[in-house]
Amino acid sequence: MRDYLQEYGIERYINAHDTITLYGASRMAESTLEAVRQVSGCFVDIVQMQRALGERIAAMTHNEAAYIANCAAGALQLCAAVCMAGDSEAAYRRLPDTTGLCSEIIVLHAQHNCYDKAVEAAGARVRIVGDADETLPFMLEDGITEATAAVLYCPASIYRRGSLPLKEVVRIAHARGIPVIVDAAAQLPPRENLWAFTQAGADMTVFSGGKTLCGPQTSGLIVGTRAMIDRCIRFGAPMHGICRSAKASRESMIGLCAAIESYMAQDAQQEKVRLGAMVDRLVEVMCRYPIYSPYRVEQGSVGQDYPRAFAHLECGVTAKEMAAYMRSRRIFIGTDERENTLYISPLNLTEQECGEVCAALADAGARWAGGAVL
């Protein structure tokens, strides 16, 4: 069998960092790959496929309707576009020219992040409200004007301190007839999040298909109200206009649907135990060497419900050196240089890969024993 990576001179790594896009994010299950392979050989009416898979995903995730885009960023672009265009196809087709349209999308200062560019990519202007460490209800109310098209909300735990609760944002926005878009790209597990934001009143919620859902890297999901999703289907790819660049292939669409089926069928408790066992293994190995002060963290980087292994680095070993060493072993790990810690997510590890990571950690522990490089 051909080894494509070797043939083309691309190195193969173990991803012990997390669902990081730069490293490929996640792995598709065999059943997902089988669905992709099968559909790839067939021609379909993409709009019919979008509707049929959307219905299926909506039913599985307790939502009214769903749309599949090329990634969460593409999905956010489309959400912004349909909020600005309303029901007007003509207005949609003029985007990113927003002349005469409500084109401001409100973002809480505490949640302002690099993915907000995705709504600007539709032609929207981001309007920041509140302070970095505090948003009071009147600040959001004051930010809503004649120009407001939507509020964009990111429920990542790292932003919680300075944010308003989603329900409060929905209450304020809906009172003025403004839709709320939730960027929940990485907020899984728990899988209940697939419907929790909708139930809290979000008009559209976006998830990345290629992160914990383990769908194709080039897939993204919008779940939401039928009215909003109908607009996504009417205006979004494969139609022409600004979001043509958010086009999902039939492979991505079927792959995401199959991945969501697997995700919903999974025994969540059993999966957590499986991941926890790997984390315990990693922590136990690190316990044997003085360069690590290891501990277990029960959340992902934005508050998701899965365990990770952490270690504060001791004996003068720096996070940078550790990352470089692991990289030389063809392993990606997470590091925090300010805290001088390393962290490892079990999400993308097989049992065997976990063993390889343990071996590399042990070798690093022996190498820097007592601070001296042996």
Ligand X SMILES: *Cc1c(COP(=O)(O)O)cnc(C)c1O
> Least distance (Å) from ligand X to the CB of residue 94?
25
- For ligand X, the closer of residues 21 and 225 by Cβ is 21
- For ligand X, the closer of residues 54 and 210 by Cβ is 210
- For ligand X, the closer of residues 154 and 194 by Cβ is 154
> Least distance (Å) from ligand X to the CB of residue 92?
21
Looking only at residues 132 through 161 of this chain, which bind ligand X when binding is defined by CB under 6 A?
Answer: 154, 156
Among 208, 249, 304, 345, binds ligand X (CB under 6 A): 208
The Cα–Cα gap between 371 and 328 comes to 19
**Residue 215: both structure tokens together:** 């769908």
Count of CB atoms within 10 A of residue 321's CB? 15
Query: Under the criterion CB under 6 A, does residue 185 sit at the interface with ligand X?
Result: yes
DSSP code string of 326-350: HHHTTEE-EEETTTTEEEE-STT--
> Least distance (Å) from ligand X to the CB of residue 193?
13
For residue 105, give the 3-state DSSP assignment. strand
Are residues 206 and 75 in contact, defined by beta-carbon separation less than 8 angstroms? yes
Q: Which amino acid is at 49?
A: M
> Least distance (Å) from ligand X to the CB of residue 73?
4
Of 307, 218, 165, nearest to 21 by C-alpha is 218
> Least distance (Å) from ligand X to the CB of residue 347?
14
Query: Under the criterion CB under 6 A, does residue 225 sit at the interface with ligand X?
Result: no
Looking only at residues 58 through 77 of this chain, which bind ligand X when binding is defined by CB under 6 A?
Answer: 71-73
φ and ψ at residue 130, rounded to 5 degrees:
85, 180
Of 11, 342, 355, 24, nearest to 214 by C-alpha is 24
Stretch that binds ligand X, among 91-99, 102-110, 181-189, 247-255 (CB under 6 A): 181-189
Are residues 365 and 289 in contact, defined by beta-carbon separation less than 8 angstroms? yes
Query: Under the criterion CB under 6 A, does residue 213 sit at the interface with ligand X?
Result: no
Interacting residue ranges for ligand X, rule: CB under 6 A: 21, 71-73, 115, 154, 156, 183, 185-186, 208, 210, 220
